[in-house]
Amino acid sequence: MHISSRTKASRWLDLCTFGPKKGQPDELLNTQASVWFKDQVDKIKSNHKEETAKQLETEVITIGENGPPGKLKVDEDGNIISAEKIVDGVITYDGDLNPASSHQSARIKAWLNIAFYNDDQLGQRLAYALSQIFVVSDRDLQFESRPLAMANYYDILCKHVFGSYRELLKDITLSPVMGHYLTMVDNHKDNPDENYAREIMQLFTMGLHIRNDDGTFELDASRRRKPCYTEKDIQQLARIFTGWTRGETDDWESDMIQIPEAHDNEEKILFNDVTDPANTETSFRMKNYGPQPFDGDPAELELEKLIDSLIDHPSTAPNFCYKLIQLLVASNPSPDYVSKVVSTFKDSTYALEEIYGVDKIPSGEVVKGNLKAVFWTILTYRKVYTATPREISKVREPWLALVNIYRALDVDVLLTDSDGNKLVKDDLLYNKTCNQYPLGSPSVFNFYLPDYKPKKLFPEGEKYEKIQSPELQIIDWSHIISVHNHIYSMFNKNFVYGTDSDHNYLNLKSGDRKSKLINEASKRPFVRIEDYHNALTNSDGSENIDRRTAFIDIVSARFFHFIMPTVLREELLNTADFSIEHLEQYSIKWTQRLLALALTSPFFHVQQNFKYFPYTVAPADR
């Protein structure tokens, strides 16, 4: 795919990263997307566990309301050590300490550090999408004080983001974090737990109902959706997952191990109530390995065969690919879009040739479920860059909207680690601001349902009743106020707590008050809005340019793919319809107000093609 315009470059980066930074779209102009994509694939992967450990080393907690501060430390193996009492690897407290969730705050700060500053943006953005399919959550009490275990699980997603879906599915199945979250740990043959058996089918592979390759549902004679599996299949599958446990009492990171005497070695038969038993591609039989000689552990062999069978199920590819498209590009993907991605899932050859060139595909890459090829197809589908918003668009997730704004405004922090790297020490009030944060969903079903339909927001009529907008399920008035206040306050903090190019604090009082403010400010991320302020004050000396137009052009380039919708442009012009003297006198306030107006508008909070927006006049050179 050729990136022929700044608009296309900006749209590409908006989808492939946590948001384009200043100047990045221009760097991609007149290049091939495959060059950037391959470069991102080859980037050294950020390590969330290491970053979280770094945060924990500098985390200060307070014992009681007015008690002495305590400092968390991490040993050479990454285990948390501190003055507090530790039982079975879990931090506990004697007395009134701030809650264990404060340790998850360190994980969120580490995530932000990576999202704001690290170069492997594509892998990190795609891993975030995977985290909303293969869900675990720190809202489960057993993970509240285990930030390193949670970070390590996230690293599993990062590890496989350009690899094999099969290997990803196996690794998350054997993860002790997943094992505890979906209660597969210590699953015994005498009383098999059905939780993971149910969710691996419903959420991680085939889904509840059979899908065609274009993502549509297969219907029976009564026009009802056909189920992928039955309760009997869940019971049979649960027996396959017996006998697994953590290797060591406090090991929450290494693959689970098998306890042979706890595993059910009897025959298991699956899916025969749904598919034709004579069809070897979809029928699945587990034979009892018994005491006869075999090469390998029977539980391991069963797991390997099961994973192959789940991946080969005809509904797995369309169900998985449909979810990925929704999380990355479009809430209502067309059958043609889904078909092309499913085709790549089944045979990655063509997509890999687009990335690497014909006869240049690395050895071993052409496998079923090659995620690199699947993501490439999702992100380069032609209509992603040509379709109207009604056909291809999605609401920005609240958490990602904030991260996007911070990146676009060149977020900076003053604290650094021992190596001189930026160190984010603000978690954006993650528990309150957005109704979501990484690995923090309220249930295994993610923050929102993929088929959520906000019917009350649309006019009555058949053409609207099927429109899906999953993200709107977590966006209510309380959230809107919270996010909008956060957006406005980030501009306000820039002037109150921000710095000039030499990191000298501005607008701070002297004495103890100044010292306190500096200490507070040093922990907060601040944004650079000098370009916008200079446009309103005409600081660049462009006397002949309308100051409001200059401001709007900068906002348009940074947040609206260089093509701000006409409706929003006119709204900003009308809102700032004051004299030059007035704009100069209150330039700080107007910079804040106009930026907040643009970035709290629905035009920013929906990812879409502005070039084909129905209320946009697109300049010919965009």
Contacts of 530 (CB under 8 A, 6+ apart): none
User: For residues 13 and 28, is the Cβ–Cβ distance under 8 A?
Assistant: yes
Alpha-carbon distance values, 260 to 243, 269, 396 (Å): 6, 20, 47
Give CA–CA dist 115/92, Å, rounded: 30
Pick from 335, 313, 330, 339: nearest CA to 207: 313
Q: Give Cα 250 to chain centroid, integer Å.
A: 28
- Residue 356 has what pLDDT? 93
Residue-averaged pLDDT of the chain: 83
What are the pLDDT digits (tens) for 55-101?
887 765 444 444 444 444 444 444 444 434 333 434 444 333 343 44
- Which of 75-89, 123-137, 189-203, 212-226 has the lowest average pLDDT? 75-89
- Residue 275 has what pLDDT? 32
- Residue 100 has what pLDDT? 43
Give CA–CA dist 311/25, Å, rounded: 37
- Residue 414 has what pLDDT? 81
- What's the angle, vertex CA 541, arms to CA 536 and CA 544, rounded to 5? 80
- Residue 493 has what pLDDT? 60
Band (497; pLDDT cuts 50, 70, 90): very low
Strand partners, 73: 81
- Which of 104-113, 160-169, 524-533, 563-572 has the lowest average pLDDT? 524-533
Q: What is the dihedral of CA 512, 518, 519, 525, to 10 degrees?
A: 160
- For residue 225 the two structure tokens come to 């959706």
- Which of 128-132, 273-277, 279-283, 465-469 has the lowest average pLDDT? 273-277
Percentage with pLDDT > 90 across the chain: 57
What are the pLDDT digits (tens) for 105-150?
999 999 999 999 999 999 999 999 999 999 999 999 889 889 999 9
- Give yes or no for residue 209 having a pLDDT over 70: yes
- Residue 68 has what pLDDT? 40
- Residue 272 has what pLDDT? 55
Give CA–CA dist 53/419, Å, rounded: 14
Band (610; pLDDT cuts 50, 70, 90): confident
Alpha-carbon distance values, 400 to 180, 427, 437 (Å): 28, 14, 9
- Give yes or no for residue 242 having a pLDDT over 80: yes
For the chain, first and last CA: distance in Å?
17
Give CA–CA dist 485/118, Å, rounded: 27
| DSSP 8-state secondary structure symbol assigned to residue 262 | G
- Residue 171 has what pLDDT? 97
Pick from 394, 409, 396, 328: nearest CA to 116: 409
- Give yes or no for residue 177 having a pLDDT over 60: yes
H/E stretch holding 594: helix 587-599
Give CA–CA dist 622/610, Å, rounded: 11
- Residue 521 has what pLDDT? 65
Strand partners, 184: none
Give CA–CA dist 275/265, Å, rounded: 24
Give CA–CA dist 134/323, Å, rounded: 11
3-class SS shares of the chain: helix, strand, coil, % to 5 = 45, 10, 45
Burial readout 213-235 (b: 16 or more C-beta within 10 A, e: otherwise): bbbeeeeeeeeeeeebbeeebbe
- Give yes or no for residue 291 having a pLDDT over 50: no
pTM comes to: 0.88
- Assign 370 to helix, strand or coil: strand
Q: Of 254 and 144, which is predicted with more confidence? A: 254
Pick from 591, 362, 431: nearest CA to 98: 431
Mean pLDDT value across residues 14-32: 96
Band (539; pLDDT cuts 50, 70, 90): low
Burial readout 573-589 (b: 16 or more C-beta within 10 A, e: otherwise): eeebeeeeeebeeebbe
Contacts of 485 (CB under 8 A, 6+ apart): none
What are the pLDDT digits (tens) for 589-609?
888 899 999 999 999 999 998
Per-position DSSP letters for 83-121, written without gaps between them: SS-EETTEE--SSSB--THHHHHHHHHHHHHHHHH-S-H
Band (102; pLDDT cuts 50, 70, 90): low
- Residue 505 has what pLDDT? 42
